[in-house]
Amino acid sequence: MGRVQGFFSATGVLLLLQLGVVIAQNSSTWLTLSGNAPAIVAKGGFSGLFPDSSSDAYNFVPLTSSSDTVLWCDVQLTKDGVGVCIPNVKLDNCTNIAYFYQTGQSDYLVNGVNTTGWFSVDYTMNDLSNVSLIQAIYSRSDAFDSNNYGILAVEDVARNFNPPGLWLNIQHDIFYAQHNLNMTTYVLDVSRRVPVDYVSSPELAFLSRIAPMLSRSNTKLIFRFLDQSISEPSTDQTYGSLLNNLTFIKTFASGILVPKSFIWPVTADNYMLPYSSLVLDAHRAGLEIYAADFANDHTLSYNYSYDPLAEYLAFIDNGVFSVDGVVTDFPVTPSEARGTPLIISHNGGSGDYPDCTDLAYQKAVDGGVNFIDCPIQVTQDGIAICMSSIDLVADTTVTNSPFANRFSSIPEVQDTQGIFTFNLTWDEIQMNLQPKISSPELRYSLVRNPRSANAGTFMRLSDFLSFAKGKPIAGILINIEHATFMVEQLGYGVIDAVISALQVAGYDNQTALQVMIMSTNSSVLIEFQEKTNYTLVYQVDESIRGADSSTLADIKKFADAVAIDRQSVYPESAQFITKPTDIVPKFQAAGLAVYVYVFRNEFVAQPWDFFSDATVEINSYVEGVRVDGIITDFPATAARYKRNSCRNMGTNAPNFMSPVQGGALLQLVAPQGMPPALAPMPVLNDSDVVEPPLPPVSPRHAPAPSAVTASPPTQPSNALQLMASIFTSLATILSAAILA
């Protein structure tokens, strides 16, 4: 092919991959168009094992693969206009229809080719009720064919498997139009009923017709390229010539899907040629580019030594470019290639700068964080701010400020007295207080970055949201506690305030950033679930050793992920760990991603088993128990681990990359030196999780009218208050000067 650049021709993939590691260490992000991790798209589910588009194929995806894996459905239309997921226009290719309707075949022109077979246009949904999906690839097991997998409608896939993303591939529009079935109407209709994240098609007329009709939705339109010599049926140009007109494709599509060989071509005897410039060209044209045809059991180029993981790395982590997604029959492998864990900051990069300040967030971003977090508190004048504690004593210099006398005792909030965010206005906080760096290991005299102990500026939620936009991160996490208190005692509807701040900041339609909401109170998440489509994280605020299965099912109803503490995974006794609990696989089997908090670098924060080495600890959680995310004060440490070139080496990994065995070190301790036996941690049950709904916001409690609305980014400050606080601080300075 003509698009090849002679850059790596003589160097070999190995060198390329090594180079990739080196370059990746400089950049905190993926080389995709958005900077986000490439998407994993499971074609017909885990179709490498189960019949394509069968319930087990779809079910198996979240059990084996990254929790954000998108489900792909090849849409065919029945005679009565129902969209069903069947991988081939010829039903006899992948179902047992020929057994039920022995003389039911027809001869139809499909893109001008006379084709004989069984077609969905000849059957109603009811006619197909006894037909089942079977294995279409002869080299794969047919053992599951006797499971009678019924044909699934598109809505069934959306509702039964609740995927984090749904991709509809419309391989044929003209063919269905010839049989008086309108694919355009169908796709518009179904996307009103269930979330459709991607629509792809190799038919240009179809995509450009539907593009304006879907322009106000979040659905991405993807133009699918077929072999370069084939003619695109609606324009009669070859796909090869359309490849030279990406700016035209960009007028109706947001991305393209190409056979993987367009990107890394191979010779006739299956050796890799140098990569083409296609990914770089597509990104330059503002198009995302997805690569198709990944399967672990297809013949790989010899350059990959039969290792499919090596192939994915060549597409997503080569140091030069990354495709924006891969379409695969074996979603488990790209999940490995893309790498866990997700790195979520804890109060920003709070290991180096005061919690939730601009400097802490910038540190997290520079370090390679995936999600930055904002714990929401509210000020007296109803402004949402990011602050790690509701008590300003914890993370500001309030006790050395004019407001040092504003202590009060609010038992609903905390047992001890405090100076609370809701007792000071935003201007009072911003103009009179300085941030104060956290020091969780102060009892061991370990302080953090003393030169920057009071550095940085406080952030309102609106400041945080504009900061995050355009940063090379996957998204943001908003943590909401004390919602009931805010509603009942302050008249502040924190949930609506957060939703409206996100809308005002354009998060619903203008950014590619994912929004996660975390709370320890299920009623908060349930309210978000009713009002938004954000990812919901349930934080368990006690150490647990297990969870009832009914409780797992309850949590799954309102959350996509859970956050649990480190002890719930590796229980600890006198700074030694014991065997891991089975809580991580249990949550994951229930369809919940598991994030673990809080990882800290100070050596006293880690049990002895991890050798005072934060990387050994992270590796044990990732390789030993396969957690999905790490919540950390030190995102750069987790990111350094993630980029470690010794990861993903399978059985060849060096000793220092194997997870620590829980309980191993304890066996070397003589009986008299043994720490006391652990008190058993509780098992999470329904009564821990089920909560009454949040009360409605009643304005009569409102401290100020502005309290019930979100603060727009540029709220005018109250001039009187401002003068008063300037005056107070001037007075303090003056009296200090007089006393000196």
Ligand X SMILES: *[C@@H]1O[C@H](CO)[C@@H](O)[C@H](O)[C@H]1NC(C)=O
Residue with tokens 């866990």: 340
Helices and strands in the chain: count of H runs, count of E runs: 25, 27
Q: Is 122 in the site for ligand X (CB under 6 A)?
A: no
List the one residue from 692, 700, 714, 736 that touches ligand X (CB under 6 A): 692
Q: Is 532 in the site for ligand X (CB under 6 A)?
A: yes
Cβ-defined contacts of 711-720 (< 8 Å, 24+):
711/382, 711/383, 711/384, 711/460, 711/461, 711/462, 711/497, 711/501, 712/462, 712/504, 713/460, 713/462, 713/463, 713/465, 713/466, 713/504, 713/505, 715/383, 717/426, 717/427, 718/381, 718/425, 718/427
What span, in angstroms and rounded, lies between the C-alpha atoms of 29 and 645? 16
Q: Is 2 in the site for ligand X (CB under 6 A)?
A: no
| Residue (499 or 627) nearer to ligand X, CB | 499
Distances in whole angstroms, Cα of residue 56 to Cα of each of 86, 275, 312: 14, 36, 25
Instruction: Report 79-98 residues binding ligand X (CB under 6 A).
Output: 88, 93
Q: Is 238 in the site for ligand X (CB under 6 A)?
A: no
Distances in whole angstroms, Cα of residue 699 to Cα of each of 240, 487, 555, 703: 63, 9, 32, 9
Q: Is 177 in the site for ligand X (CB under 6 A)?
A: yes
| Residue (23 or 394) nearer to ligand X, CB | 23
What span, in angstroms and rounded, lies between the C-alpha atoms of 397 and 394? 9
Q: Is 26 in the site for ligand X (CB under 6 A)?
A: yes
Stretch that binds ligand X, among 6-14, 283-291, 641-649, 652-660 (CB under 6 A): 6-14
Rounded to 5 degrees, what are φ and ψ at 426?
-60, -45
Beta pairing class for 220-224 and 106-110: unpaired
Residue 172's nearest CA partner among 125, 115, 215 is 115
CB of 548 to ligand X, least distance (A): 8
Q: Is 655 in the site for ligand X (CB under 6 A)?
A: no
| Residue (106 or 457) nearer to ligand X, CB | 106
Q: Is 484 in the site for ligand X (CB under 6 A)?
A: yes
| Residue (394 or 453) nearer to ligand X, CB | 394
What span, in angstroms and rounded, lies between the C-alpha atoms of 636 and 372? 12
List the one residue from 691, 718, 721, 724 that touches ligand X (CB under 6 A): 691
CB of 466 to ligand X, least distance (A): 15
Stretch that binds ligand X, among 51-59, 270-278, 281-289, 714-722 (CB under 6 A): 270-278
The answer to whether 424 and 408 are in contact (CB under 8 A) is no
Residues in contact with ligand X, counted by CB under 6 A, come to a total of 57
Question: CB neighbours of 663 closer than 8 A, spacing ≥ 6?
Answer: 577, 578, 579
Residue 426's nearest CA partner among 384, 457, 375 is 384
Q: Is 107 in the site for ligand X (CB under 6 A)?
A: yes
Q: Three-state SS across 498-553?
A: HHHHHHHCCCCCCCCCEEEEEECCHHHHHHHHHHCCCEEEEECCCCCCEECHHHHH
CB of 439 to ligand X, least distance (A): 26
Rounded to 5 degrees, what are φ and ψ at 560?
-100, -20
List the one residue from 694, 697, 707, 710 that touches ligand X (CB under 6 A): 694
Q: Is 270 in the site for ligand X (CB under 6 A)?
A: no
List the one residue from 33, 226, 272, 364 that touches ligand X (CB under 6 A): 272
CB of 484 to ligand X, least distance (A): 3
Q: Is 496 in the site for ligand X (CB under 6 A)?
A: no
List the one residue from 195, 259, 402, 663 that touches ligand X (CB under 6 A): 195
List the one residue from 106, 148, 178, 185 that touches ligand X (CB under 6 A): 185
Instruction: Report 372-431 residues binding ligand X (CB under 6 A).
Output: 406, 408, 420, 422-423
**Which residues form the interface with ligand X (CB under 6 A)?**
8-9, 12-13, 22-23, 26, 88, 93, 107, 114, 116, 126-127, 129-130, 136, 177, 182, 184-185, 188, 195, 218, 245, 248, 271-272, 274, 303, 406, 408, 420, 422-423, 484, 489-490, 503, 506, 508-510, 521, 523, 532-533, 682, 685, 687-688, 691-695, 703
